[in-house]
Structures are given as C-alpha cells and as structure tokens.
Amino acid sequence: MARVVVDVMLKSEILDPQGEAVLGALPRLGVGDVASVRIGKRVEIEFDEHAQNIEEQSRVIADQLLANPVIENFTVSIEQGSTETGPVGAP
Amino acid sequence: MTRDLNVAVDTVGVADATPDEKQPWAELGLKDDEYQRIREILGRRPTQSELAMYSIMWSEHCSYKSSRVHLRQFGQKNPKTPRLLAGIGENAGVVAIDENIAVTFKVESHNHPSFVEPKQGAATGVGGIIRDIIAMGARPIAVMDSLRFGAIDHPDTARVLPGVVDGIGHYGNCVGLPNIGGETYFDPSYQGNPLVNALAVGVLPRARLQSMQASGTGNVVILLGAKTGLDGIGGVSVLGSASFSENAEDDARPAVQVGDPFTEKLLIEVCLELFDAGLVVGVQDLGGAGLTCALSETAAAGDGGMHVDLELVPLRAEGMEPHDILASESQERMLLIVDPAKAEEVLARSHRWGLLATAIGTVTGSGRLVVDFHGQTVVDVPPKSLADEGPVYHRPLAEPNDLGLISVDRAETLPRPATDEEIRQTVLDMAASPNLCDKSWITEQYDSSVFGNTVLATPHDAGVVRLDERTGVGIAISLDGNGRFARLDPYVGAQLSLAEAYRNVAVTGATPIAISDCLNFGSPEDPHVMWQFERAVTGIADGAQKLGIPVTGGNVSFYNQTGRDAIHPTPVLGVLGVIDDVARRIPLGLGKTGDTIALIGTTLDELSGSEWANVVHGHLGGVPPKVDLDHEMKLAELLARLAGTEQLAAAHDLSEGGLAQAMVEAICHSGLGAQILLPEGADPFTYLFSESSGRVLVVIPRGQELAVRTACEQRGLPITPLGVTDANTDGLHLRDHFDIGRAELEAAWKGRIGARLGE
C-alpha cells in the first residue's frame, strides 16, 4: 500500500486570514516572539496495492481537487512502504 | 521592519540623471502619446514608481478615459433634487431620507477577478463596495448582487457559479450584512466573461457625511487596516522583473487578492467610531489601484499637496519595492486625513479595536504629491495630473452591422404553441428554464435577515430594509439588467432595465428616489461596442431625467470580451426607493382566499428578446418591447398610494416570462391556488408570455375592488380583473384552457440550479 501526503499552502503573497487570527491570539497565551503564522492543509491518501502511476495520480488529485492553483501551492510526497520514492517536491 | 536597500531605487534624482533610460510603459498599458505627456507634465522621465502610478490612474478602470465624454450626460440631464447630498464622483451617491438620515448606495463590478478566482474575486468585490459605503460616513446595512454566467450546462459555469456564490455568501455573512436580493442570468454571451456586480447600501445621520478631501496643511495621513502585501499587483510587476527572477520561490505574483471579512467588520466599527467622535477630516477607501488611487484622489480633492514616507507602510511581504507598495491591492485598508492634535487618539482608538493604524504622511501646501522611500524621493507629481487630468478619448462609434438584420428577424413571427396542451407544457418548460427557475439554491447560501431589519428579500421584487424602528421608515432596492433587450436596442434596453428596477421598487409600495448603475460592455476599442455604450448611457440619462430621479453614481466595466466576441451590452440598474412605514409594504403572493387577482397595464404582442423566444427557439431578434416612462411614473404613484391605504394584499412585477411566470412565482410563494379567466378575445399564448413593459399583477383584498379600479381609472391606468385567489384550487386553474397542479408546478420550478450544476 502506498501512502501519499499532499500539503497545500496558500501562495506566499496571498493573505492568510486564518494564520493572522492565530498570530493575533498568541500574545494571550503569553507567546510574544512569533513573527508569522501560515496555515495550510495536509491530506493523506492511501492507494490500494494495485495502484499504478501513484505520483501522477496524486498530482491530478492535488491539482484538480485539493488545491486551488490560482492561490495555492501544493507538494506531493510518497511515504515509505511504497514502491516509489519521495518526496517529490513542488510542481 | 527595516530593510537593506540592496536594490537601487529609481529616485527622482536618478530619473533626472538618466533621461534616456528605457521604460516599460507599453507593457504597463500606456500609449506612446500618454507616455510623452507624462514626461511633459514632469519635465523629465517618470521614476518607476511614478510610471506605475500613471499607468494605473490612467487605465480605463480608474480614468474612465473612454466613457467619460458620455457619462457627462448624467450630470447634464440629472434632475435637480434637494435629496441629493453627494453624487457622481464621490465614493457613492448619498440621498436624504428625511431631515435627519440619509442613505448611500452603489453598484460596482468585479467581473474579471471573479472569472480568474471565482470565490475570492466575488468576495473582494463585496468587500470593495462595502468600503465605498463606509467612506461616505455610513454604516453598511445590506448587500445585493447581479450575476451573469455562461450557459448553465457549460462546464466552466459549474466552476464559476458555485465559487462566486460561495464568495458573496462568505464575505457578506462574515461581515454580518444581509443579502437582500439581486438577479442571476445565464446566456452563452457571458461564457468566459461572467458578470459579478455587487451593490451595497448604508445609512448615516446627515451630519456624518464624509469627504475624500485631504485639506488642511499639517494634517496627518493615516493608513488604517490590513498590512500591504504583494497581492493584486498584476501588471506593475514588470517593473520589478529584474529583482523578481532572483526570488527563490517560483510563485507567480497572482492578480488575485484574498480578503478577510472580519478585518472589514472592524474597519466599519473603527471608522464609524472615529467619524462620530469628529476625529476625521477626510477619508478614502483603498480599492482597485490601492494607495496610488487613494493618495492621488485625496490629494487632488484637497487644496494643497501631500508628503508620504512609504517605508512607514506596514508590509506583509518582504522585499517590496516602492512601486509594489503603491500598486498593491491588499484588501481591508482605508486612508484617513486627521488633525495632528487628534492623530494620537485616532491611532489609540484603532489599536483598541485590534486594527493597525499608522501615520504615513502629512498634508502639505506644496501642491505636489511627494512620496519618499527611506529618505529618497521616488514620486514628485502634481496630484491632479493623476486623478483628474488623465487622457480623455472620443472613441469612434458605429452601429453594429448586423443590427438591421436582427431587428427584422422578429420573434413575433416564430411558431407558437397552438393547443391548450402545448401552452400548458410551455408554462412548465419556461418555469424550469435556467433564467426563470427558482434561485433559492443560490440565495439560501446568503444570510438575508441578520440585523433583524430585513422586511423583504429574495424572492420578492425588491429588498426592503427598515431604517428606523420608531418611525418604521425604510428603503427598497432592486437591481435589474437585461442584456438581450440591450443587444436588440441598447437605448431602449437600458430604459427597460431602468423601468423594471423602478417598478420593482414601486410594487413594494416604496417611492423611487435614486439610481445607481453598473455598465458592463465589451471592448471600447470596438466602435460597435462604443456605439452600444453611448446609446445605453443616453437611454439611462434620458430615463432618469424623465422619471425625475438622479443617477447618483456607479461604475463602468469594459473589455468583457473574449477575442472578437463581446458580451451582450449589459447595463445593470439599481433603483432605491423610500417607504414611510415598512409595515405597509406590499409583498409577493396571492393574499388570501377570495381576493381578486388583476393586471394593471396593457399586454401587446411583444415577444422579441423575450425568455420564450430564448427558451423555446434559442432566438434573439426583433425590437424590444416599448417603454413608457410616463406610465411607469403613474403606476409607481398609484402603488405607493395603495400601499399607504393598505388596499393591496400583494403585487408582482411582470418581466421575463410574462404573466405565466409571474403566476407561477406567486402561486409557489403563497401556497394558495389561483382561478384565472383571461379577458374575452385575448389570445392565451400572447397574454401569458408577452413581455410588454409597465405591467403589474396585483391582488386586491375583498371589498377594495371598486376603490382600486377607481384609483386606476383616475390615473388612466388600464386594469383587468383576471380571477380570484382560492385555497381549494390546486395550483393554477386557467378556465377553458388547462389546470396545472401545485406539485407539478413546483417540480418544474424548484431545484433546477443544483440539479443542472450536478449537485
């Protein structure tokens, strides 16, 4: 079984209101030395044992469904136990 | 944050010393003669920052260079009214409601961003129009939207529509503003060029009206709200291309901005608090063109100059060049002009709300807009040359070649359903068609009742909002456009949309008092498009003059065009009305059992441009229905009178789909049935599907029939009794012709949008 992890992050120029909200809340925890917080999402995909072209398929999933390429970047990494090696980096 | 000046900044001094340096003015969209004029104004070559500013401010979007000569008609023909407190040229028009309160409203397009990134594009469109309302000193109280997409079954519509609706709902719901209405249409001409027009309305005590003037030498310029990032910079990035390629990250700079509605909510509260405390001299929102536009417009509206230290602007991204900071379209920012004695308090109050506020400059008496970056002068220009003295084009106009052929290809000659069974099926097919079917899949994603002042919202003809709990005074707004009619005749088409918005406000019992418009057209460089534009503007200006209500502002969106194919010319008209007591508004529906259903207005054989021609024949030709604005004024006066005396139980404007569609909507909305008998000699098909203008379906409570008939006759308005409301009738009973049960009607009308989008 191959396990693929897709990380989706807003492009660096794009405002991340969620990250800003967390940054704004940190002083209340007494944490005052954080300069920036960016929040993305991690998606774990498990292919079954017959799966072929795992990297290619993962990219299709990431590009067309998980990420919005207009404002987000993603990375696809294939974890150990699979027949292919990862991570494979940004598009 | 400090930064090393490792990149040589293009200062005024450098520009003086290197007059012949090649500049990418053409890539920035400037024409040769425009670039030469900049050099003449400055007496040298512009710096990179100045070039960025001129290219932005002299763009079509900011300078209205193609439309300005035509838009002057609004000023020339607008009726004089003491209600108008601020008009065209301000951030939004302001009209007085009574001696104490005023409302401000405006409709603006966000078409291109919504195509690139539907959700964020539409969301920031809503955010932008809300800030225009704040900038007038008003509390935003509601939003509306007018949307147009390509064919509903085109794959791209399934990408764009849900994103746009999500974005409007997300932003509006988070800011906490009710979405009280609007419209959604589908037509292949909008494929690749969807239209997202957002309207916002706000209310203010008349004394709180704000100005955008940066006056008073020594006053402090404060930037309030979000940090400035690299978003939305688009074309200006060619200026920084040398340093940009060194960037390790391969992100292309997106021309898309992401907004934060919660910051916008704070902006509303901070600004209103500052206005109420009398702490602000001038205010301007930052929208398209960001700081460039806000600085040059406030400085140009004032009487002196301005000095800004750009390194003081709080930044979100590293390594931003001066032209990046000036051009950034980061959302949720406002510019305030403040008396220096009050600056400390303004900053403190803003910080208490958790918003950044930074003094970035001062108003000067120099007559120049001077921008320094770490002590080096990067901009030194006369502000009026940016804001007011941009190029003005008299573009050539030419009637489209095909218009003659189109006008003789009349829909009135198309084959019509002949039997009762065929007409019955046509009613159902029309009710199920994309433009006429129930839009609740869209509108239920919006909060329509937050604040607790919404009296009517979609699917009623107009949105009605209460302004004052004690007096019950309120406003009604409708937003209407019809690109099909405008394609056939832009002058008449624009007036038909104006008349429809006016009538939609009137059927709620409100009295129309002001207009805002959003003019969506193809490329102004195409003489045919420019002709359509000129005709539409003339139609609106003449219509406003005739109706006696002013055009208070709006927006022009050109270049809605893919290749040679322009969208249908689509002027979208917003009309605002006032109603003395919202408790007496007239709703949509059928009243109660025994009430009389009647039609006010005249039904002619007018089918060209109609939805019937579109749905059944895919046809667009002929000449649109006639407009009679005298009739519309009488009708509005009658409806306001009958609302005041509570002599109408319900009313509904007849527009796309004609009487048949109006009945379908009234029946589905009310839960009651209708027994209808068409007038003797009337052709049932024409009577049901004609789209003649100036018609309203009214429901008269038992015992009021004679009074209403007399009121119509006194005004010369034809009224035709059609039947009665009846709880025991299942759906629509059209005597001597056919019956359609409620279940069948609802099955046709409801649930179509989601189903067609595959959801």
CB contact under 8 A, A12 and B249: yes
Q: Are residues B599 and B659 in the same domain?
A: yes
Indicate whether A46 belongs to any domain: yes
Give the per-residue pLDDT at B234: 65
User: Is residue A36 a part of any domain in this protein?
Assistant: yes
Q: Would you call B251 and A17 a contact, using CB atoms and an 8 Å cutoff?
A: no
The tally of CA atoms less than 13 A away on the side-chain side of residue B559 is 9
Residues B595 and B735 in one domain: yes
B460 is catalytic: no
Q: Are residues B759 and B625 in the same domain?
A: yes
Q: What's the pLDDT tens digit per position in B355-412?
A: 999 999 999 999 999 999 999 999 999 999 999 999 999 999 999 999 999 999 999 9
Burial of B618 (0-12, 13-18, 19+ CB in 10 A): exposed
Same-domain status, B339 and B381: yes
Residue numbers in A near B331 (CB within 8 A)? 15
Query: Do B295 and B433 fall within a single domain?
Result: no
CA of B134 vs chain A CAs: smallest distance (Å)? 21
- Mean pLDDT over the full length of chain B: 93
Give residue-wise pLDDT tens across range B509-543.
999 999 999 999 999 999 999 999 999 999 999 99
**Beta-bridge partners for B148:** B185, B195
Q: Is residue B693 part of a domain?
A: yes
Q: What is the mean pLDDT of residues B453-480?
A: 95
B258/A11 CB distance under 8 A: no
B341 in any annotated domain: yes
| pLDDT value of residue B2 | 41
Residues B310 and B424 grouped into a single domain: no
B50 annotated ligand binder: no
Q: CB contacts < 8 Å between A and B, how many?
A: 50
pLDDT given for residue B250 in this prediction: 43
Q: Model confidence at B240, in pLDDT bands (50, 70, 90)?
A: low
Q: Which residues of B touch A21 (CB under 8 A)?
A: 262
Smallest Cα distance from B149 to chain A, Å: 20
pLDDT at res. B251: 46
pLDDT at B242: 40
Contact B739, B732 (CB under 8 A): yes
Beta-carbon count within 10 A of B88 CB: 17
CB contact under 8 A, A70 and B254: yes
Q: What is the per-residue pLDDT for B243?
A: 40
The answer to whether position A26 is within a domain reads yes
Residue B485 has pLDDT above 60, yes or no: yes
Query: How far apart are alpha carbons B403 and B527 in whole angstroms?
Result: 14
B318: nearest CA in chain A?
A: A13
Share above pLDDT 70 across residues of chain B, in percent, rounded to a whole number: 96
What is the distance between the alpha carbons of residues B556 and B522, in angstroms, rounded to a whole number?
A: 11
Q: Could you tell me if residue B716 is inside a domain?
A: yes
Specify whether B446 is located in the same domain as B310.
Answer: no
Segment holding B96, helix H or strand E = strand B93-96
Q: What domain range includes position A51?
A: 2-78
Query: Which of these three, B387, B411, B433, is where a domain ends?
Result: B387
pLDDT of residue B572: 98
- Domain holding B236, by residue range, is 20-58+210-387
The first and second tokens of residue B357, run together, are 């506020």
Residues of chain B whose C-beta is under 8 A from some C-beta in A? 116-117, 120, 226, 229-231, 249-251, 253-254, 256-260, 262-263, 316-317, 330-331, 354
Count the domains in chain A: 1
B240 vs B330, which has greater pLDDT?
A: B330
**In-domain check, residue A86:** no
Is B110 catalytic? The answer is yes
Question: How many Å is the Cα radius of gyration of chain A?
Answer: 16
B221 shares its domain with B361: yes
* B689 domain residue, yes or no: yes
Place of tokens 């004052």: B468
Chain B residues whose beta carbon lies within 8 Å of the beta carbon of residue A20? 260
Is residue A65 domain-resident?
yes
In this prediction, residue B249 carries a pLDDT of: 43
- Among B387, B404, B430, residue at a domain's last position: B387
Proportion of chain B above pLDDT 90, given as a percent: 89
Q: Are strands B179-186 and B139-149 parallel, antiparallel or unpaired?
A: parallel
Evaluate whether residue A62 is within a structural domain.
Answer: yes
A87 found inside a domain: no
Instruction: Note whether B445 and B592 are same-domain residues.
Output: yes
B/e letters for B670-691, b = 16+ CB within 10 Å, e = fewer, are bebbbbbbbeeeeebbbbbbbb
Residues 6+ apart with CB under 8 A from B54: B30, B34, B38, B46, B386
In a domain, B2, yes or no: no
Same-domain status, B595 and B713? yes
Given a cut of 80, whether residue B253 has pLDDT beyond it is: no
Per-residue pLDDT tens for B1-30? Answer: 344 444 578 999 999 999 999 999 999 999
> Distance, in angstroms, between B236 CA and closest chain A CA?
15
Q: What is the pLDDT of residues B416-432, one digit of tens each?
A: 999 999 999 999 999 99
Residue B681: DSSP 8-state: T
Please list every residue in chain A whose beta carbon sits closer than 8 Å to the beta carbon of residue B240.
Answer: none
- H/E segment holding residue B300: helix B290-301
Number of domains in chain B: 2
Residue B89, pLDDT score: 83
* Whole-Å CA distances, B288 to A67, B63, B185, B231: 26, 12, 26, 11
Chain B CB contacts of A24 below 8 Å: 354
Which residue from B357, B283, B289, B377 is spatially nearest to B325, judged by alpha carbons?
B289
Give tens-digit pLDDT for B137-170. 999 999 999 999 999 999 999 999 999 999 999 9
Supply the DSSP string of B3-21, one letter for each residue: ----SPP--HHHHHH-TT-
Alpha-helix runs per DSSP H in B586-731: 611-617, 629-644, 658-670, 684-689, 705-714
Query: For residue A64, what is the DSSP state?
Result: I
Residue carrying the six token digits 């000067």 = B364
Rounded distance, CA B197 to CA B483, Å? 14
Same domain, yes or no, for B424 and B302? Answer: no
Residue B693 · residue B499 · CB < 8 Å: yes
Q: What is d(CA B149, CA B182) in angstroms, rounded to the nearest whole number?
A: 14
CATH number reported for the structural domain that contains residue B661 in this entry: 3.90.650.10
Tens of pLDDT, residue by residue over B612-666, are 999 999 999 999 999 999 999 999 999 999 999 999 999 999 999 999 999 999 9
Residue B672 backbone dihedrals phi, psi, to 5 degrees: -105, 175
CB contact under 8 A, A17 and B263: yes
| CATH number where A17 lies | 3.30.1280.10
| Residue B230 C-alpha, separation from nearest chain A C-alpha, in angstroms | 5
Considering the domain architecture, whether residues B330 and B431 belong to the same structural domain is answered as no
A85 found inside a domain: no
**B75-103 pLDDT per residue, tens:** 999 999 999 999 888 889 999 999 999 99
Mean pLDDT of B701-709: 96
- CA distances to B473, B549, B550 from B81, rounded to whole Å, are 20, 8, 8
Check B70, B110, B619, B631 and give the catalytic one.
Answer: B110
- Strand stretches in B247-381, DSSP E: 282-285, 305-309, 333-338, 357-364, 369-373, 376-381
* Closest residue by Cα to residue B28 from B241, B231, B192, B230: B241
Statement: residue B70 has pLDDT above 80 = yes
Q: Across the interface, do A13 and B120 touch by the CB < 8 Å criterion? A: no
- Average pLDDT of B265-287? 96
CB B533 within 8 A of CB B487: no
